[in-house]
Amino acid sequence: MSRPAVLQFDSLLAPMQSELESRFAVLPYRPDLAAASISSIEFVVTSGSTGVPREVIAAMPQLRAIVVYGAGTDNIDLGLCQDRTIEILTSASALSEGVAEMAFAQMLAVSRNLLGADRFVRSGAWGAGAVFPMSGQLWGKRLGVFGFGAIGQSIGRRAAAGGMDVGYHNRSMIQGRGETYFPTLADLADWADVLAIAAPGGDGTRHAINADILGRLGPDGIVVNVARGSIVDETALVAALHDGRLGAACLDVFASEPMVSDTILAAPRLLLSPYAGSNTMETRSAMARMVLDKLEALKVPSNCC
C-alpha cells in the first residue's frame, strides 16, 4: 500500500520529521513546484507563521486537510477552505503552557528590571559602591489579558498564583470563569497595570493596541505581546516608550519578523525575543507529536466505512 503524500512547508523536530517521512511520502514545498506535482496531494503540513498561499490551495483539488505545526491560522484563507470543506487542524493545545510561561517570564523580567540588574553587576558598578535603582513588582498588580483562549487562560493562572488580580477582554464573556470580564479593550486597559496579548491575528485585531490603548495603561503600564506582531501598532508603541507614556513593553512577535525595525531596536525599556514562546524541547516535541497523530487519523479516507 502506497504512503499518502504530504506537501510540507515547515519541518518538524528531527525525530518526528524522520517518523513523518517513514509514514508519508513527503514533498517539501518550493515556490517553483509545478501545479501537476501537487494536484493529487491530500494533506499539507505548515506552521502558523508560514500558512499556505491561496494559489497553492487552489492548485490542490484533492486537498483534504491542512495540519498546522502551531496555533495560528491567519495566514490561511479560511473562507476558501470552508467553501471546499478542507479541514484545518492545529496543535494549539500543545503550546499554550510554553507560550504562557514566556509571557509571564517577560513581564516579570521587565517589572523587576532583571536585565538592568545583570548589567549593573557585570559592569562593576555594584562593587564600586553604586546603588541599583528600585524596581516595581507584579504582586498586587492587575493583569489584563486580551484574548482569553487556552494561552490567555494559562497566562492568567500564572499571574493569579503570583498574587495578581486578573481581568480579560474576549469576543464574549466565558461562563463560569472567576476573572473579571471587560466588554471593551479600552475598559480593560483603563483597569490593568499589565496588558498581556494572547488574541488571534488577522484584520479584526490589526493595530488593536494603538496609541489610545497604550495611553490608557499609563506611564507605569507594561505591554506583553506573545500573539501576533500585527496586533500592536509598533510606531505608536515606540513613541509611547520614548515619551514616557508607557512604562515598558515585551515583544516576542513583530510586524515584519524576522526583520525588526531600527526604531524597535533602539526603543527604551523594551525587552525583545525571537518568536520563542513555544521554542522549548518539550513544547515543540508535543506539537510535532500532535501533527503526526492528526495526520495518522486522517489516513482513513473520508468516504470510508
Domains of the chain: 5-90+282-298 (3.40.50.720), 96-274 (3.40.50.720)
User: Are the C-beta atoms of 216 and 245 separated by less than 8 Å?
Assistant: no
User: How many C-beta atoms surround the C-beta of residue 139 within 10 A?
Assistant: 9
pLDDT tens digits, 3-35: 899 999 999 998 999 999 999 999 999 999 998
pLDDT tens digits, 221-261: 999 999 999 999 999 999 999 999 999 999 999 999 999 99
pLDDT grade, residue 304 (50/70/90)? low
Amino acid at 106: Q
Asked whether the predicted pLDDT for residue 1 surpasses 60, the reply is no
Instruction: Collect all residues with Cβ–Cβ distance below 8 Å to 287 and sequence separation of at least 6.
Output: 69, 70, 91, 94, 95, 278
Asked whether the predicted pLDDT for residue 305 surpasses 60, the reply is no
Residue 280 pLDDT: 95
pLDDT grade, residue 72 (50/70/90)? confident
The C-alpha cell at 260 is: 525588526
The C-alpha cell at 255 is: 510586524
Q: How far apart are CA 144 and CA 162, in angstroms?
A: 14
pLDDT grade, residue 302 (50/70/90)? low
- pTM for the full predicted model: 0.89
The C-alpha cell at 78 is: 479560511
Beta strands in the chain (DSSP E): 5-8, 25-28, 43-47, 65-69, 87-90, 142-146, 165-169, 180-181, 194-197, 222-225, 248-251, 270-272
